[in-house]
A and B are shown apart, each in its own frame.
Chain A
Amino acid sequence: AQSVAQPEDQVNVAEGNPLTVKCTYSVSGNPYLFWYVQYPNRGLQFLLKYITGDNLVKGSYGFEAEFNKSQTSFHLKKPSALVSDSALYFCAVRDQAGTALIFGKGTTLSVSS
């Protein structure tokens, strides 16, 4: 069965510092991986996806994610955090046969000024 783990409930970073939000996955076959962000009282917004190709994927708002097949990870990164990046971040996976996105439980990112 497909699953996603986000091991940290909360990540705290200072503005200007690099940030990493961790995600590991389990799926049979090739994984298709996504990151979404959720601001309060708003729906999820797509950030980036890995389908195939380069292991480093660039997305919206300066975010990027690194796909590591041997470690079954897809960590979200940003070189320099902004206070406005504070939000709830979800990692999700689906396989080629699956119809549903399987989401992790989310990680709250808090960026302090």
Chain B
Amino acid sequence: EAGVAQSPRYKIIEKRQSVAFWCNPISGHATLYWYQQILGQGPKLLIQFQNNGVVDDSQLPKDRFSAERLKGVDSTLKIQPAKLEDSAVYLCASSLTGVFDYEQYFGPGTRLTVT
């Protein structure tokens, strides 16, 4: 089966610019996650969707980050305006459901560099 797809793979922007990332989860997976992985750290959840509804966005910096999952499939994550500390790898993951025992499948990530 096809895995989680993400684009772009790399992005370099200047601070205060905006950027958007796209994710296509595994077909049939109802739950979609966006994680931020800063160099030297483990991934940190930004937002979780169940179908097209938000389940958890408690760690999303809502003054600059936004995410949507229209039609319950693809998702986009946007940063506007970007700050230097947003430099990280942004990982998208999906799982069959949000139930605690289901493993998550990760995409290759988008490496963002903010200069």
Q: Which residues of A come within 8 Å of B, CB atoms?
A: 4, 32, 34, 36, 41-46, 49, 51, 90, 92, 94-96, 98-101, 103-106
A48: min CB distance to chain B, Å: 9
B89: min CB distance to chain A, Å: 9
Measured in the bound complex, the distance between the Cα atoms of B46 and A57 in whole Å is 29
Measured in the bound complex, the distance between the Cα atoms of B45 and A91 in whole Å is 15
Contacts of B73 in A (CB 8 A): none
Residues A103 and B56 in contact, CB atoms below 8 Å apart: no
The answer to whether A96 and B42 touch (CB under 8 A), given A43-B108, A44-B106, is no
Chain B's interface: helix, strand, loop or mixed, by majority?
loop
Residues B103 and A105 in contact, CB atoms below 8 Å apart: no
B34: min CB distance to chain A, Å: 11
Residues B108 and A103 in contact, CB atoms below 8 Å apart: no
Contacts of A44 in B (CB 8 A): 43, 91, 93, 106
The answer to whether A32 and B100 touch (CB under 8 A), given A100-B56, A105-B41, is yes
Find B98's partner among A34, A99, A105 (CB 8 Å cutoff): A99
Residues A43 and B98 in contact, CB atoms below 8 Å apart: no
Measured in the bound complex, the distance between the Cα atoms of B48 and A34 in whole Å is 18
Q: Quick one: which of B54-100 are within 8 Å of A by CB?
A: 55-56, 59, 91, 93, 98, 100
B57: min CB distance to chain A, Å: 10
Contacts of B25 in A (CB 8 A): none
A32, A49, A96, A103 — most chain B CB neighbours (10 Å)? A103
The answer to whether A100 and B100 touch (CB under 8 A), given A44-B43, A90-B42, A105-B42, is no
Show 28 A/B contacts (Cβ-Cβ < 8 Å), sorted by A: A32-B101, A34-B103, A42-B109, A43-B4, A43-B93, A44-B43, A44-B93, A44-B106, A46-B103, A46-B105, A49-B101, A49-B103, A51-B101, A92-B42, A95-B100, A96-B100, A98-B100, A99-B45, A99-B55, A99-B56, A100-B33, A100-B48, A100-B56, A100-B59, A101-B45, A103-B42, A105-B42, A106-B40
